[in-house]
Chains A and B, each alone.
Chain A
Amino acid sequence: MARTFQENRREFLRELGIGAAALPFILNLPGLGFANQSERKRRLVVMFSPNGVIPSAFWPDEEGSSFQLKESLKPLEPFKNKTLILHGLCDKLRGDGDNHMRGMGCLLTGIELFPGNIQGGSDTPAGWAKGISIDQEIRNHLQRGSSTRTRFGSLEFGVMVPDRADTWSRMVYAGPNKPIAPIDDPYQMFSKLYGRMKDRESLKSILDDLQEDLKKVRSAVGTDDRHLLDEHATFVREMEQELKEQKNETLDHPVPELESGVRHANEQMPKLSRMQIDLMVGAFAGDFARVATLQFTNSVGQARMKWVGVDESHHELSHHPDSNQKSQESLTKINKWYCEQLAYLAKRLAETPEPGGPGSLLDNTTIVWTNELGKGNSHTLDDIPFVLVGGGLGFSMGRSLKLKKIPHNRLLLALAHGMGHHIETFGNPDHCSGGALVL
């Protein structure tokens, strides 16, 4: 993991170089992706919340385009005609690991876990997933094409993800045994997205002081040595000039302003969520990436949502039997809060115009909200929640579908196809028969 950090840091610096040769990279803040304007940009967001749902408060009773949103999904009312609710998709992957682990590790990879040493509450111990996750598969496809390539390709956001790497806390995989950790610190994400611009600003702000002192130093050295400092002053002037020339280059979207000092703490979760969503919308507006994931806590996540009046922790509540009415209500509130985050993201995308094109970002973005379990107290991997919002993938929206125990691999395939990546199978091919789900 540290290697990745080091390499990123180094790569970052290499690209950063303030020199003339490197300037195009700095100017490149708006992203690389405006080359091909004829084809519509398509974006995919996968949003995750844990511990299953309360089916009766989640799934619409009706099928088709005329349906009522239940309590958990009420926040989606403004986007109902842009929403597609898929009931009946099942995570069919078996093998090592308990259901929380497989629910998480196989959710986006569609393939089993390796045997390993992580022992869950039941079943055999397991390690990481055996394959790449669909978001990364799509990202790699987009990065290969010159008209779809962006600065980052994909961005992995998190909110209150525990600071440990295990099968329950990772859903994104760069490949077999290669989990990718989400960034759950908005400040860290900010500096990943806008750090270069800030550095350029700080650099600009010190140049006058620097020139002033160079003059003083020049007068203090012997006459034979002055040429060296003259040369130095020239280089500094050139840098100043180069930085000035970029003055008119501004971002094509306002840099998100983050409240400072928001700590990594349970009670800050609503703020952290908004900050991350704002950053994601900014990154899309600037075309930094076309794929993003947003992971709330982790599989078995333990958020305590005091702000919606729930004091108990999420995972513990999720084990309570259906007969416990109070817990059912609390869990519905929790899922509703997550749905509000989805709605906030949809709203922000809807009110942000698509740069260089008609419509809004939401018209070209599909958000997929999912979960590692169908239902918390049964730990079932059947009827995994998949709620889609937005027009990125060109699916026919405004519907509630009741599918018949279809392996979720077929939805993963549909996501790839919707993003223009036409693969035949994904993950374990045994669960791909019938091909991509037609939506």
Chain B
Amino acid sequence: MPKLLAATMERPAWTRFPCRLVLALALGGMALAVVGSAKAADREKGSKTGEQIYRQMCVSCHGSNGEGTDDHFPRPLIGDRTLPRLTRYIAETMPEDDPGSCTGPDADKVAAYVYDAFYSKAAQAKHPMRPARIELSRLTVRQYRNALADLVGSFRWTPQWGDHRGLKGNYSAGRRGRRGGGGPGGDFERVDPEVRFHFGAESPIPAQNAVKEASRHYIPLPGLPVPLVLFRQFSQEYRVSWQGSVLAPETGEYEFVVRSENAVRLWVNDPNRPLIDQSVKSGNETEYRASIAMLGGRMYPIRLELARGKDDKTASMELLWRVPKHVLSTIPARALSVADSPRVYVPMSPFPPDDRSMGYERGTSISKEWEHATTDGAIETADYIAENLDELAGIREADSDADRDRKLRGFCAQFAERAFRRPLSEELRKLYIDRHFPGSTDRKAIAKKVVLLVLKSPRFLYREIGTGAPDAFDVASRLSFTIWDSIPDQALRDAAASGRLARREQVADQARRMVADLRARDKLRAFLLQWLRVDQGAEIAKDPKLFPGFDEAVISDLRDSLELALGEVLDSPSADFRTLLRSKALYLNGRLARFYGVELPPDAPFRKIEAAPGNRSGVLTHPYLLSSFAYTASSSPIHRGVFLMRSVLGRPLRPPPIAVAPLAADLHPGLTTRQRVELQTKPEACQSCHTMINHLGFALEHYDAIGRYRDREMNRPVDATGSYETRAGESVKFDGAATLAEFVAESEEAHNAVVQQLFHNLVKQPIRAFSRTELVDLRETFAAKGYNLRELMVEIATSSAMAPRKP
């Protein structure tokens, strides 16, 4: 419940509020619960300052500083009326929809505020009003971490995720086992989709392999078999190693868990230092845990080893993890690859969170706390680089001192260039590199100093320095931050350096290449979760009496199920936005199946259930969403309606002026959820907003508090009819979720909303700062490309990469 309330308190982000609604709210002073108390409202208004009245009644058309809004008053509120004239004008004509509601002392106060704050010439001289512009921004926290990971990673090799899910399992007979595997001895290799084995007392290795391995250690007399004792040694003692890469779906602290009664070791993201080292088997423990931080959307090297000793009666191995916001589960095949990958540098210094007040993370402000965090981050990175200097700089044992110096200098220069996203001028080379050579014979100290300086430099910490048309390096950097939240890779750097980012098609080609990367997929995935308003992880808790067994594990599975559905669309060639809304399938595993009407074995892994029960139509009917926009015991048409209006249709809503507790179901035992909502929002003051909110939410009334389909509630048939009036004034009727989803799939408003939100999510600058027609152009391209989300990303990246910056 607190989560849900918070959701309704979100401020309207980037579009205006329809006048009618503002008026109703403003008039009443509050939307709910103060019916018949207009006097109280007046009194309250009477005590407000001019600024408060402005924020209450004017801001939705005129913008928070009088700059205007796109839809209703797209001009700055500046002029040459005198204060008394302005006051009279307001009293007589404002607000446009309900002139006469702001008069007397209120009009005096609001006029005085407007006049002094921005309207008058004097105010304009003090604070000139400008249209939205591309603001200088620092890296967001996500960008900072990704940039550092890729900066260090650029001195290693680039892995390929590939198409083979699971890990390479190498099975070898005998105590020692052999590295490399697959040799002529007792080894064999296979791909294991998951590591969840109970080998029991038997060896997973065929007897002939054990014989073969045994005979390597024993020269048999001709005609005589391998002695039984040796055969037993080589069939009972064996080693298995699993190797490959693991893909982190989220950024955060992961817990890895290994279950085995044998000696085990696990390496994650560091081939030299085991994360779990139980090669010494000691006591009766059979479960080992260790945590490690990982950045989402990246692959990390992983290796797991099992050794069964001669005294072990049985052998088994399970590899599990706890993904942030999830419960412990076996690492699924979809998160594993047989491909190798290099170590990833994961910076862990804590940072203050980014400003999200506009609905997207942005870096247009700094704080002392942030500045300190950048120091910690720079020191942490300098330490890591010093620790791994020879590897990163390609210094070999045999290198002479002169070679070492040359390589170190080369490394430092490349490090600075990649961090700054452009070649170093002579002047900068002196400042950042040359000045620190030679100075000392301690190469690690030199490297640390350069790294510290580079990472504290505004050239690294800020997105783009300079004004006017972007040059090729700016374009490259914009592309990579837009698509990856990170610095350009080798191909992009090469393209920029050789002038292959001059034309739009060239830029689009690069963008298309980049969108195929795991990091781009991760951004799109994260965006869709944000669009669905579940990116922060919904705090779902249900009444255990009504929904027994609906526990944390089920909720965690539901999130996986949603992510599988999103992933399927993102990974398909068409990546069609509309498929998200139309799919009749549901991903279910054994645990979920019993809740959502499908027969599966209790431990069945996820599978796609086509035409799933419950008349599903896409993500709007996904049980994870429906459960999060619901109360513990009942559905919540209001929360569902608010989500549909704000996020899906992009209509701004202001918060109800007071928090209102929902009518308790047990006080109205005769009413259905729909009837209770109608009763509560019946007052006229509520109706202006709730007519729209409720009638969108009602269309989902077939789904209860955990998103199960129902035909009846309180023994009455569910009424899932609803309606919506578009911005163009068209009235749309729904009967149930399918008709709602179909409307949304084809709705220009919904397309605008997704385009605008994706733009802000990717570019982190207001879309209005680019061109007045940016949104319309992008939406048209989106439509022309079959509503392909990846293509939309390419388009956004391309057009924003080439936009000039106003001084």
- Chain A residues with CB under 8 Å of chain B are 1-3, 5-6, 9-10, 13-14, 16-19, 22, 113-119, 125-128, 130, 165-167, 176-177, 195, 199, 202-203, 205-206, 209-210, 212-214, 217, 220-225, 228-229, 231-232, 235-236, 238-239, 260
> Which A residues lie within 8 Å of B130 (CB)?
224
Known contacts A205-B449, A213-B431, A217-B459; decide if A3 and B375 are in contact (CB<8 Å): no
**CB <8 Å contact, A235 and B368:** yes
> Which A residues lie within 8 Å of B372 (CB)?
17-19, 22, 239
Bound Cα distance A229, B453 (Å): 17
**Nearest B residue (CB) for A207:** B456
Known contacts A19-B368, A221-B465; decide if A166 and B280 are in contact (CB<8 Å): yes
- Cβ-defined partner of A1 (8 Å) among B138, B274, B462: B274
Bound Cα distance A224, B453 (Å): 26
Bound Cα distance A14, B807 (Å): 39
**CB <8 Å contact, B368 and A238:** yes
> Which A residues lie within 8 Å of B365 (CB)?
228
Bound Cα distance A229, B307 (Å): 58
> Which A residues lie within 8 Å of B382 (CB)?
202
> Which B residues lie within 8 Å of A177 (CB)?
282-283, 285
B431-460 interface code vs A (CB 8 A; 1 in, 0 out): 110010000011001001100110011110
**CB <8 Å contact, B283 and A213:** no
Interface residues of B in 273-305 (CB under 8 A from A): 273-277, 279-283, 285, 290-293
> Which B residues lie within 8 Å of A1 (CB)?
273-275, 277
Known contacts A220-B466, A232-B366; decide if A114 and B282 are in contact (CB<8 Å): yes
Known contacts A213-B431, A222-B806; decide if A165 and B280 are in contact (CB<8 Å): yes
Bound Cα distance A1, B288 (Å): 11
**CB <8 Å contact, B312 and A117:** yes
**CB <8 Å contact, A217 and B465:** yes
Q: List 23 A-B contacts (CB under 8 A).
A: A1-B273, A1-B275, A1-B277, A3-B275, A3-B291, A3-B292, A13-B380, A18-B375, A114-B283, A116-B283, A117-B281, A126-B282, A127-B280, A128-B283, A165-B280, A176-B283, A177-B283, A213-B457, A221-B136, A225-B136, A228-B136, A232-B371, A235-B368
Main SS of chain A's interface residues?
helix
Known contacts A128-B282, A209-B431; decide if A117 and B275 are in contact (CB<8 Å): no
Question: Closest 8 CB pairs between A and B?
Answer: A127-B282, A225-B136, A117-B281, A114-B283, A19-B372, A235-B371, A116-B282, A128-B282
In the assembled complex, the CB of A185 is this many whole angstroms from the nearest CB of chain B, namely: 11
> Which B residues lie within 8 Å of A2 (CB)?
268, 270, 273-276, 290, 292
**Nearest B residue (CB) for A128:** B282
Centre residue among B135, B311, B364, B371 by max chain A CB count within 10 A:
B371
Number of residues on chain B facing chain A (CB within 8 A): 66
Known contacts A6-B293, A117-B311; decide if A224 and B133 are in contact (CB<8 Å): yes
> Which B residues lie within 8 Å of A14 (CB)?
350
In the assembled complex, the CB of A353 is this many whole angstroms from the nearest CB of chain B, namely: 31
> Which A residues lie within 8 Å of B442 (CB)?
260
> Which B residues lie within 8 Å of A238 (CB)?
368
> Which A residues lie within 8 Å of B262 (CB)?
117
> Which A residues lie within 8 Å of B136 (CB)?
221-222, 225, 228-229
Known contacts A1-B274, A165-B277, A220-B465; decide if A210 and B282 are in contact (CB<8 Å): no
**Interface status of B348 (Cβ within 8 A of chain A):** yes
Bound Cα distance A166, B441 (Å): 37
**CB <8 Å contact, B459 and A213:** yes
9 extra interface residue pairs, beta carbon distance < 8 Å, beyond A166-B280, A167-B280, A209-B435: A1-B273, A2-B292, A9-B380, A14-B350, A19-B368, A128-B280, A206-B449, A232-B371, A260-B442
Known contacts A2-B290, A19-B372, A213-B431; decide if A206 and B456 are in contact (CB<8 Å): yes
**CB <8 Å contact, A17 and B457:** no
> Which B residues lie within 8 Å of A225 (CB)?
135-136
Centre residue among A118, A220, A228 by max chain B CB count within 10 A:
A228
Bound Cα distance A238, B375 (Å): 13
